[in-house]
């Protein structure tokens, strides 16, 4: 089983504010960062976030 990242861990890894991460969990559509809600906690799969970022990058470069 993959170790899931907390909001703080993901923010540190991406070098963005924690608020940016929370904002992306509330959006709809392709801008929504993939996450899991475990009770009151939000967790992230590093692999899914990586795929999300690659998809965003390819979407932006195709414009």
Distance CA 12, CA 58 (A): 23
- Parent domain of 39: 5-61
pLDDT of 13: 95
11-28 pLDDT, tens digit per residue, is: 999 999 999 999 999 998
CA dihedral 54, 12, 47, 34 (to 10 degrees): -80
DSSP state of 32: S
State how many domains the chain has: 1
Burial 34-63 (b: 16+ CB within 10 A, else e): ebeeeeeebebbeeebeebeeeeeeeeeee
E strand or H helix at 24: helix 18-26
Low-confidence ranges of the chain (pLDDT < 70): 59-63
Predicted TM-score of the model (pTM):
0.83
């Amino acid at each position: 089983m993959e170790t899931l990242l907390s909001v703080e861990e993901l923010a540190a890894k991406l070098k963005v504010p924690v608020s940016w991460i929370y904002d992306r969990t509330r959006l709809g559509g392709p801008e929504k960062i993939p996450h899991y809600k475990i009770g009151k906690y939000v967790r992230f799969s590093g692999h899914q976030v990586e795929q999300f970022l690659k998809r965003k990058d390819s979407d932006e470069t195709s414009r």
